[in-house]
């Protein structure tokens, strides 16, 4: 508790012309970079019951992960509204989760919906807060985004606690097709 996190800093790759490889952000402990096909096997291996239930919408296969990553790459290439990053451990370079911002979701103008999943071995280590800090750096410069929104099932207690620790505040609870969802916001 109360651990200070370094200010996130943008770190760019050499090839600025390719948005899939040029967007990288690090705080010295983790780094975010767009997912690519080489991440598919690790992404699938990291999926446990919690990620399958709360993020993936069910158990994934290598084919569904590849389809998802292909879609993510297309979003980057075409400057689409959905920006998915892998979360990587700086020390090992290992994929430890993912985070996504949707700049065109069913939320208010000036807001980006954010979702995340941390692999089980890395939970409880402040990774969500670090990833959200880095994601906020990215979305701050995108399309006049002023707030990040996290929509979380009331049954997902771990994520409810994680976003509160990451500086989000609860604004309402809404009945959605997925069930009762808590809507949190964080100013950028």
Residue 119, domain extent: 9-187
Domain of residue 147, CATH code:
3.40.630.30
Per-residue confidence (pLDDT) for residue 55, from 0 to 100: 84
170-186 pLDDT, tens per residue?
Answer: 999 999 888 899 999 99
Q: How many domains does the chain have?
A: 1
Share the mean pLDDT of the chain. 86
- In this predicted model, which residue has the larger pLDDT, 9 or 114? 114
* H-assigned helices in 9-96: 19-22, 40-46, 49-51, 62-77
Q: Is residue 4 part of a domain?
A: no
Which DSSP category does 8 fall into? P
CA angle, 36 then 41 then 45, to 5°: 125
> At residue 7, does pLDDT exceed 50?
no
The whole-number pLDDT of residue 137 equals 87
**pLDDT for 91-149, tens place per residue?**
999 999 999 999 886 678 889 999 999 999 999 999 999 999 999 988 887 667 889 99
């Amino acid at each position: 508790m109360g651990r200070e996190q370094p200010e996130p800093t943008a770190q760019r790759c050499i090839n600025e012309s390719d948005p899939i490889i040029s967007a990288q952000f690090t705080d010295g402990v983790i780094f975010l970079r767009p997912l690519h096909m080489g991440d598919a096997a690790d992404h699938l291996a990291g999926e446990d019951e919690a990620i399958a239930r709360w993020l993936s919408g069910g158990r994934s296969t290598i084919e569904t992960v590849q389809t998802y990553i292909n879609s993510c790459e297309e979003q980057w290439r075409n400057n689409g509204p959905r920006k998915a990053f892998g979360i990587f451990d700086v020390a090992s370079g290992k994929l430890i989760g993912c985070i996504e911002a949707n700049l065109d979701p069913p939320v208010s103008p000036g807001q980006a919906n954010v979702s995340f999943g941390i692999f089980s071995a890395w939970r409880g280590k402040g990774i969500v807060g670090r990833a959200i800090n880095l994601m906020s750096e990215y979305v701050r410069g995108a399309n006049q985004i002023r707030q990040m929104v996290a929509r979380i099932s009331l049954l997902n207690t771990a994520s409810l606690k994680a976003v509160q620790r990451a500086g989000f505040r609860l604004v309402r609870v809404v009945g959605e097709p997925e069930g009762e969802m808590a809507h949190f916001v964080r100013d950028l």
